[in-house]
Amino acid sequence: MAFGGKFPASFLVIQGATVAALAFWIARFWLQRPFRLLWPPVCWGVLAFLLYAVARCRMVEVEYVGRQQWIHVLVYGAIFLIVLNNLNRKNSAMIVSLTLISVGFISAFWAVFQFAMHSQFVWGVPKMGQYMNRGSGPFMNPNHLAGFLGMTLPLTLGWTVMGRFSATIKVLLAYAAVVMLAGIVVSVSRGGIVAEGIALAVFCAVLLTYKDFWRSSLLIMCILAALGAGAARQFDSVKKRFDRIYVDDTGGDERVYYWASAWQLFTRNPAWGVGPGHFDVEFPSVRPWRVQDRPTFTHNDYLNTLCDWGVAGMALIAAAVGLLTWESFRVWRALRPSHETGPPYSDRAAFVAGAVVAAGGGVGGACIVRITLFRSTICCCSLPT
């Protein structure tokens, strides 16, 4: 809620909370006997990337920038292991899910309010000029809001359709899902909207595999189609932003020039990259004449990873994602009830379905969007710099 941890002051709060959680975890590990350390296969991928980050961040041109990236990676890795080993009881998934859904609902409602009232501030801080007419909730960048809601919306639908809640709670969850969908639309994030559409299509396809939920799947698809069509007609800014894609090869967007520059930097050191966080450092050496500002980041997670961490870093991340996908598939098969027996509603199945679609569908949808736009990036690479 504090700008998504964008500013150093807000990230310091995250660091302090992580250190406190680590201290409690260490105390619990020694005082509570027996204490079992959960270590599924995905942890090996996470550990490998943590070790690679420690080594790579020490061999960079600007030590301060590398150290900042190293701290971020360690904090996120620590949070992952803390959650995995301490929030693993029967009701933990429900508590965490409802917390995320509540935060997503508040953020989306805030974004809708910003969009309707043409609010230009986030917690009293003015937004950047290009984000003025877009809802962003507690984030400074509306695309970050779309990414967050893109992960919480399938989770919300999973608990709504498959969870063992009362009718009242399910109505509230359905209302939260509608508000989140509106929040994604008012963010006017083209990639976020398309990626979420793909993720929701995957979610409906998953429901179709259950004989008890195929009607819910068809109902959700009809409702989402109606809401999407209505939103596209009502919000002219959304339509105008999508129309810009077809203006020319670059879609009227300078980000494709950032991507072209990132690709040029990546080719300098394909194996290890130019260094964590060093796209901003090295960008002036490949700055296109059309870009007269400081992009800071590549604005494309996949190219940013290749540019900063190289093929080695991308391979480690892909390995971790592959291990997570494999384990998710095994859990999914174990949770599926047979056609003859098994409850039609399951909290575990609701969490797994929502979480897997939220992570896999959102990332896969974003990947498809970026691959579609990559042609423009390749065209820009041939332009004089």
Flag whether 30 is in a domain: yes
Flag whether 38 is in a domain: yes
Domain count, the chain: 1
Model pLDDT for residues 201-251, shown as the tens digit of each residue: 888 888 887 777 777 777 777 777 776 666 656 556 555 655 554 444 444
Name the residue range of residue 32's domain: 8-88
Flag whether 354 is in a domain: no
Flag whether 58 is in a domain: yes
Share the mean pLDDT of the chain. 83
Predicted structure pTM score = 0.84
Flag whether 44 is in a domain: yes
SS3 per-residue string spanning the chain: CCHHHCCHHHHHHHHHHHHHHHHHHHHHHHHCCCCCCCCCCHHHHHHHHHHHHHHHCCCCCCHHHHHHHHHHHHHHHHHHHHHHHHCCCCCHHHHHHHHHHHHHHHHHHHHHHHHHHCCCEECCEECCHHHCCCCCCCCCCHHHHHHHHHHHHHHHHHHHHHCCCCHHHHHHHHHHHHHHHHHHHHCCCHHHHHHHHHHHHHHHHHHHCCCCCHHHHHHHHHHHHHHHHHHHHHCHHHHHHHHHHHCCCCCCCCHHHHHHHHHHHHHHCCCCCCCCCCHHHHHHHHCCCCCCCCCCCCCCHHHHHHHHHHHHHHHHHHHHHHHHHHHHHHHHHHHCCCCCCCCCCCHHHHHHHHHHHHHHHHHHHHHHHHHHHHHHHHHHHCCCC
Flag whether 60 is in a domain: yes
Flag whether 37 is in a domain: yes
Flag whether 15 is in a domain: yes
Model pLDDT for residues 73-123, shown as the tens digit of each residue: 999 999 999 999 998 887 898 999 999 999 999 999 999 999 988 888 999
